[in-house]
Amino acid sequence: MEVSQLPTLTGLSTDVIESRLSIVTHKHGLVRVDTQLFSPNYLDSLVQLVREKLEVRGSLNMEDVAREFGFPISYTRKFVSERIAEIGADLLNEQLVTKQYNQRRKAKLAGCLNGTTRPILLSQLLKTYSIDDRNASELVDQLIQERRVNGRISQGSYIPQQFESKQKSIIDSYLSTNSYLEYSMLQKTFCISRPKEWLAANLKGKVVLLEDAAYSCNALESCKNSVLGLLGSEGFFDLSKVFPSAFSDSDVEILFNEHLNLSEVVLSSGYAFDPKWLDRCTREFRDKIIHAIFFKEDSKSRKKATKKKITIDEMCEVLLDDGLVSYIELEDLKEVLY
């Protein structure tokens, strides 16, 4: 009944009705929702109606219930939560679901998870098998605790136990073949959230831990021999010839300084340089520049070159004026000559 109808039915003024209405509703068990009054029997019939609809559909959206009964959504939530035991359902994220509906979802989830052999995003699994995603994580946790599935949830992915049992041997095999392991690969492919900690615990003594990757201890000696061989024959080499592209500059630097005992090797711009080769190049360059500046041939007399002493600063000014070096190169040259 609409509250606005009471003055006509009772002959009382609106003010009198409003002042006495709360007493009357409490005495007779009536419920007022905004401008309407409902009897207990009517509300009981709504409970029965919700129960019947749930038996047919398995789930009901709270907004649909509010719209169908003409209730505000706030009262609908209150009404449902107070009568949830009578309705015989569970309330999950604004959704009423029957216990049987939840059990069916749970059983379907168990079947899908037990058939999974590799890590899979839970959201992807739910989408692939058209499983309602409401409280899915909670249902999976229940299945794991009940030991109906063998696995675990990590960063939103389900990881089967059978995959984890083979995980170490797969990673060992990859390491033997490639001599390195990227941390990002371990995270994405094997769902190992903390690669460094995992490697330290499971492959202790088999790898050295760098900044972005781990390197095989068995490959250190051959790596060092390759580096020394290239430096000995060429004086320098492109780092990409020896190290994988996945290695960062920090990885290479740590490897040279801490694990290959080659801290004297100069690393710059993706290349490694033998310091002795660099010294030899510097001396040759310096000697040529000094010879060009200090000894000048008199083009007119064609006489023997005469020595003319000038300072290093004067020599550098000549090089800069003649366009033989840039200003930046000149500063580097000064450091060498001084």
What predicted TM-score, i.e. pTM, was given to this entire model? Answer: 0.50
β-strands 207-209, 213-216 pairing: antiparallel
Task: Kindly give, in sequence order, each residue whose CB lies less than 8 Å from that of residue 267, ignoring residues fewer than 6 positions away.
Answer: 239, 249, 252, 253, 256, 273
pLDDT tens-digit series, residues 122-161? 888 888 888 877 778 888 888 999 999 998 888 788 889 8
Tokens of 29: 């068990």
pLDDT tens-digit series, residues 23-82? 656 555 566 566 566 667 777 788 888 888 888 887 887 888 888 877 888 877 887 888
Cα–Cα nearest to 275, from 284, 257, 286, 262: 262
Q: DSSP for 285-329?
A: HHHHHHHHHHEE--TTT----EE----HHHHHHHHHHTTSS-HHH
CA distance 336 to 315: 13
List domains and CATH numbers for the chain.
3-92 (no CATH), 100-163 (1.10.10), 179-273 (no CATH), 278-337 (no CATH)
